Structure 1
Amino acid sequence: MIRNTFSILNGIGDKLERKLWGAGILTWDKFIGAPDITFISAHKKTFFDESLSSALNALDHADAAYFARAIKRRDHWRLYDIFKEESACLDIETNGFMPGSGGVVTVIGIYDGFDYKCFIRDENLTAESVMEEISRYKYLITFYGSGFDIPYLLRAIPGLKFDIPHFDVCFGTRRLGFRGGLKRLESELGIARDEIVKDMNGYDAVKLWEHAQRGSSDALKILKLYNKEDTVNLYAIAGIVYQRLRTQTGIEHYL
């Protein structure tokens, strides 16, 4: 999808992008190779050609950081098919308070489509361990992470950086007309959750952490399972949402 994306260019929105598609300009290469485009001035086209050439070079080198800067955040989902093999689904649990008011991150879960890694407060959750793990990926997937998880982490773990594209599935589903949280989305898509944590929510995760702090190994085990289900299911959901967002653009009509 990213090679069909012209909203990367300043001044080009969804309407003009579809106009380009309708004119047979479906990819960056087609745009650059066209001698002229009737509804884009020669001056602008020269500038756009340079921008797209830079984007193609970044794509050839899998430079995810370039696209994190160059593409509007609302369009980061369009990079999914390019970076999905190097992506990480991230979800955090907290003690129920905000940073600065006694809030701490209790669990960070990361799933890459194959392995789930769990970072637990007072065990293996450190700024260094989390940054080292995040540095392995080129694409971040969350559910409302741009509104909660990432801002919370940046405040709670000084020095942590996220300079890669970020597909926030929550806002992707909003564009598709869906209203509700991750659990409701799982239900609508027929994605199952382990029975042990099927009916749990964020408040339950806070209470489990409190029990774990009092020495309950079972509570910690269930908390980890709850977090794992969030990240693993999100990985499956991201692929579905990406395909539906792609269809919504209308690109398939022009291919």
Structure 2
Amino acid sequence: MIKNSFILLDGIGEKRERKLWKEGILTWEDFFQYQKILDIDYERKKLYDEFLYKALEALQNRDCCFFTKNLRKREHWRLFEDLLNNAVCLDIETNGYTVEKGGHVTVVGLYSPTGYQALVKGENLTGESLQQALDEYKYLITFYGSIFDIPFLKTEFPNLKIDHLPHFDLFFAAKRLGIQGGLKKLETLFLIEREDELKGLNGYDAIKLWQSYLKGSIDSLELLISYNRADTENLFYIGKIFYDMLRSQIGIEEFIGNGRNRTPQKIS
């Protein structure tokens, strides 16, 4: 989807992007081929070409910082398919308090196509271990992470570098799609099942499981980690569903299916 995107260009919004698609300019490579597109003059077309060549190089090199800098946050979903193999779903558990009142992270769960990793307070969760884990990835997927998970982590680990990652926050994607509710409601909506031992558990249960673990129950920690793993895995599945829905919403499929509507003037 990112190579179908022209909203990275200064002066190109969603309406003009759609006009480009209607003209048969569906990808960056298409854009390079033609010298006369819409009302774009020669000098601006040249600047656009130079920028899109940089974007193409950044995509090939998995330079996530380029897209974080040049693509609006609400459009980071467009990178999902291209950065899928370098993506990580992140979800945290806490002790139930705000940082100001003694709150801290208990578990950081990280799920990617290569598997799941849990960082647990008092065992393997430090600022360094979290940074090392995140440095393996180029794309971040959360639910409400922009508001809760990331600020909480950055407060507890002030040196954490995470803002350079493009961030697909499914909470805001849901709002854009007109879908309301938390993660568990979305799982029900999209028929995503959890294991029997995890059904009915919520964030408050996660807090109680941590408290039980502190009193010596290893089983409680194992259940907490299983709960977190389900959260992060399901973020991945819902991310794919939302990606397809957002593609449909902006209408790119209509033009990809129909092919070009006209033949613009080729560069000689």
- Alignment TM-score > 0.5, same fold: yes
Equivalent residue of 2:113, what SS? coil
Contact (CA 8 Å) 2:20, 2:38: kept in 1 or not? Answer: no
Equivalent residue of 1:7, what SS? coil
Equivalent residue of 2:249, what SS? helix
User: RMSD of aligned C-alpha atoms?
Assistant: 1.2
For 2:184, give the aligned amino acid: K
Quote the Cα distance in structure 1 between the aligned partners of 2:246 and 2:240.
Answer: 10
**Higher mean Cα deviation, 61-70 or 40-49?**
40-49
User: 1:189 corresponds to which residue?
Assistant: 190
User: 2:111 corresponds to which residue?
Assistant: 111
For 2:189, give the aligned amino acid: E
Contact (CA 8 Å) 1:109, 1:116: kept in 2 or not? Answer: yes
User: 1:94 corresponds to which residue?
Assistant: 94
User: 2:242 corresponds to which residue?
Assistant: 241
For 2:157, give the aligned amino acid: I
Q: CA deviation at 1:241?
A: 1.1
Q: Which runs of 4+ in 1 moved over 4 A?
A: none
User: 1:168 corresponds to which residue?
Assistant: 169
Quote the Cα distance in structure 2 between the aligned partners of 1:165 and 1:253.
Answer: 27
User: 1:42 corresponds to which residue?
Assistant: 42
TM-score normalised by the chain length of structure 2 = 0.92
Count matched residues: 255
For 1:210, give the aligned amino acid: Q
Within-5 A mapping of 1:46-125: 46-125=46-125
Quote the Cα distance in structure 2 between the aligned partners of 1:76 and 1:177.
Answer: 18
Quote the Cα distance in structure 2 between the aligned partners of 1:29 and 1:122.
Answer: 51
For 2:11, give the aligned amino acid: G
Quote the Cα distance in structure 2 between the aligned partners of 1:60 and 1:229.
Answer: 32
> 1 or 2 for the larger relative contact order (CA 8 Å, sep ≥6)?
2
Equivalent residue of 1:140, what SS? strand
Quote the Cα distance in structure 2 between the aligned partners of 1:22 and 1:65.
Answer: 30
Within-5 A mapping of 1:125-140: 125-140=125-140
Quote the Cα distance in structure 2 between the aligned partners of 1:61 and 1:136.
Answer: 14
- 1:1-34 per-residue CA deviation (whole Å, 9 max, x = no partner) reads 0000011112211111101111111111222221
Quote the Cα distance in structure 2 between the aligned partners of 1:155 and 1:48.
Answer: 39
Q: CA deviation at 1:41?
A: 2.9
Contact (CA 8 Å) 1:113, 1:232: kept in 2 or not? Answer: no
User: 2:180 corresponds to which residue?
Assistant: 179
Quote the Cα distance in structure 2 between the aligned partners of 1:187 and 1:40.
Answer: 47
Is there any run of 5+ residues in structure 2 with no aligned partner, and where? 257-268
Quote the Cα distance in structure 2 between the aligned partners of 1:61 and 1:14.
Answer: 26
- 1:187-226 per-residue CA deviation (whole Å, 9 max, x = no partner) reads 1111101221211111111111111111121221111111
